[in-house]
Amino acid sequence: MYFVDTIEVPGLGNRSYLAGGPQGAVVVDPPRDIDRMITAAARRGTRIAYVVETHVHNDYVTGGPELARLTGAAYLVPAGARVAYERVPVHDGDTVKIDAELTLRAVATPGHTPHHTAYVLEEGGRAVAAFTGGSLLIGTVGRPDLVEPRLTGELARAQHASVRRLADALPEETAVLPTHGFGSFCSAGRAPGGATTVGHERVTNEALVKDVETFVADLLADLDDVPAYYAQMGPVNARGPAPVDLTPPAPADAEEIAARLAAGEWVVDLRNRVAFAQGHVAGSVNFEAEGQLATYLAWLLPWGRPVTLLAASPEQLASAQRELVRVGIDRPVAAATGSPGDWLREGESPRSFPRGTFADLARVHGVEGTVVLDVRRDSERTGGHVAGSLHIPVHQLRERLPEIPGGTIWVHCAGGMRAAIAASLLDAAGHRVVAVDDAFDNAAGAGLPMAETAGARTSTERAAGTRTSTERAAESGRTVVSASAERAAADRRPVLPASASTGVPSA
């Protein structure tokens, strides 16, 4: 009998796998913190004989080279991947024996990347599972625009063909085990569900129920924002990442925390957003350790900038370190645990700001000096927004702080987590802020006036190349400011410079 163990990486929306039998096993798309894989193999009492990659990853740093080195496993990488380290190049149709009755067969599935390869696990010649990486996902496919803009259309068509090739070749009962698609920005959609089969995908997956022209048009029309740190992941993985160091960072006292803030470095408070709003070190920013810490901190943090972590406990700090090494934030320069009372110099007081709901916002909406800031992504705002709100996606906020007007900034997202990040950035810059900690679905019911996004396009229009005025301006390098922002500009006050007490870390 074979086994397949799933190693969840929920903060990045990914899964890795350990599969095999009592004599040998294969690891598919390992995360960088490889101790989890070694522990899983030890629990099974099996030997890791192979480590395989479906592609050179764009969203996280792989643990493949180090896992192969430590275990003595053969390291299999698609032959078309341009990498700088030794590996066994894999071609379409190649097979390796995992255990007595278990074989792994490579299937070329270009689309997510040009060299993408899926792996089919066969028991006694029968396909029992397909490790599909970023090709066939649950209800959708991996996005084709992460490699090179000029290749996006070609790769989108390749995705359609690759997914159909897999579906045509595999029995209905074959388990489909993708790496992406559980919240990862590498997924082209947000399809629900945690398990699927080839048979289920044949009747539900976009690539299997749409003709190629419709599929490509819809896929390209609905592509979402790409986290900025993705640009760093491919090169790191192609060079070969360094081994992970998860030893505790150097401890920081109140004086060092203040000095690092004064130097423009990032001091990140990992506590939950309620605790941060109640009291925090002035100038620090809040990225909750739970949730998508790695994705959003890596997205907003200038690449390579020193970061100091503040955590409620050593356990929270260790968990955050593990999350961050997965996206190449390797060694915090310093860290401290406890609470603001432990992190402030004598005579200093913590800063705080209020939290509210959409019902609270409704009571002051329209009152002079009230500014509503929507930090959701463009794709989310097209479904409706609070009338008159200013829109700056959270991942753009740091660079666009000069656009924030004076007054009290009520900042919201879809659920509260990103609003908390934005509120901390605004608070660090000296703005009066209220973090809306509420589901956006409650906004209309609270009595807030709602509007549709002006110039929003249908999927068909986007696929046909129609551009809104904002998009045309972006292409030409101009900035478009919404009418509400223009009105508010008259009341704009200067954003305070970066400092130990009030500054957002500089770029």
* pLDDT at site 430: 96
Kind of pairing, strands 95-99 and 102-108?
antiparallel
Q: Residue 107: beta bridge partners?
A: 118
User: How many residues are given for the chain?
Assistant: 507
Query: Given the structure tokens 């996004």, which residue do they identify?
Result: 453
H or E element, residue 52: strand 48-52
How many whole angstroms separate alpha carbon 456 and alpha carbon 469? 10
User: Which residue type sits at 220?
Assistant: L
Note whether 411 and 354 are within 8 A (CB): no
* pLDDT at site 475: 30
Confidence of residue 182 (pLDDT cuts 50, 70, 90): confident
DSSP conformation letters of 317-344:
HHHHHHHHHTTT----SEEEES-HHHHS
- Give pTM, 2 decimals: 0.86
* pLDDT at site 498: 29
Note whether 277 and 435 are within 8 A (CB): yes
* pLDDT at site 294: 95
Give the CA dihedral 21, 27, 32, 33, nearest 10 degrees: 0
Out of 29-33, 181-185, 287-291, the most confident range is 29-33
Encoded tokens for 120: 């089919």
Average pLDDT of the residues in 127-150: 96
Statement: residue 480 has pLDDT above 50: no
Q: Mapping DSSP to helix (H, G, I), strand (E, B) and coil, where does residue 431 land?
A: coil
Confidence of residue 491 (pLDDT cuts 50, 70, 90): very low
Confidence of residue 214 (pLDDT cuts 50, 70, 90): very high
The helix, strand and coil proportions of the chain, stated in percent and rounded to the nearest 5, come to: 30, 20, 45
H or E element, residue 361: helix 358-364
Statement: residue 461 has pLDDT above 90: no
How many whole angstroms separate alpha carbon 192 and alpha carbon 389? 30
Note whether 395 and 227 are within 8 A (CB): yes
Statement: residue 176 has pLDDT above 50: yes
Which is more confidently placed, 492 or 195? 195
Mean pLDDT of the chain: 89
How many whole angstroms separate alpha carbon 498 and alpha carbon 493? 15
Confidence of residue 507 (pLDDT cuts 50, 70, 90): very low
Encoded tokens for 492: 């704009």
H or E element, residue 230: helix 230-239
Confidence of residue 97 (pLDDT cuts 50, 70, 90): very high
Contacts of 168 (CB under 8 A, 6+ apart): none
* pLDDT at site 464: 38
How many whole angstroms separate alpha carbon 163 and alpha carbon 156? 11
Residue 74 neighbours by CB distance under 10 Å: 15
Average pLDDT of the residues in 153-168: 98
Average pLDDT of the residues in 5-28: 96
Can you say whether residue 177 is alpha, beta or left, with left for phi > 0 and alpha for psi between -120 and 50 degrees? beta
How many whole angstroms separate alpha carbon 413 and alpha carbon 404? 16
Contacts of 474 (CB under 8 A, 6+ apart): 480
Average pLDDT of the residues in 82-86: 95
Average pLDDT of the residues in 88-105: 97
Encoded tokens for 325: 């090494």
Q: Residue 97: beta bridge partners?
A: 103
**Alpha-carbon Rg of the chain, whole angstroms?**
24
Q: What DSSP designation does 286 have?
A: E
* pLDDT at site 497: 26
- Residue 327: which of 227, 178, 224 has the closest Cα? 227
Q: Mapping DSSP to helix (H, G, I), strand (E, B) and coil, where does residue 129 land?
A: strand
Note whether 134 and 112 are within 8 A (CB): yes
Proportion of the chain above pLDDT 70, given as a percent: 89
Note whether 409 and 434 are within 8 A (CB): yes
How many whole angstroms separate alpha carbon 234 and alpha carbon 231? 7
Confidence of residue 191 (pLDDT cuts 50, 70, 90): low
Average pLDDT of the residues in 407-433: 98
Note whether 410 and 370 are within 8 A (CB): yes
Average pLDDT of the residues in 225-229: 95
* pLDDT at site 466: 33
Q: What angle do CA 433, 438, 443 make, to 5 degrees?
A: 95
Confidence of residue 493 (pLDDT cuts 50, 70, 90): very low
How many whole angstroms separate alpha carbon 430 and alpha carbon 500? 12
Kind of pairing, strands 307-311 and 334-337?
parallel
Which is more confidently placed, 499 or 239? 239
Confidence of residue 469 (pLDDT cuts 50, 70, 90): very low
Contacts of 358 (CB under 8 A, 6+ apart): 412, 436, 438, 440, 442, 443, 445, 446, 448
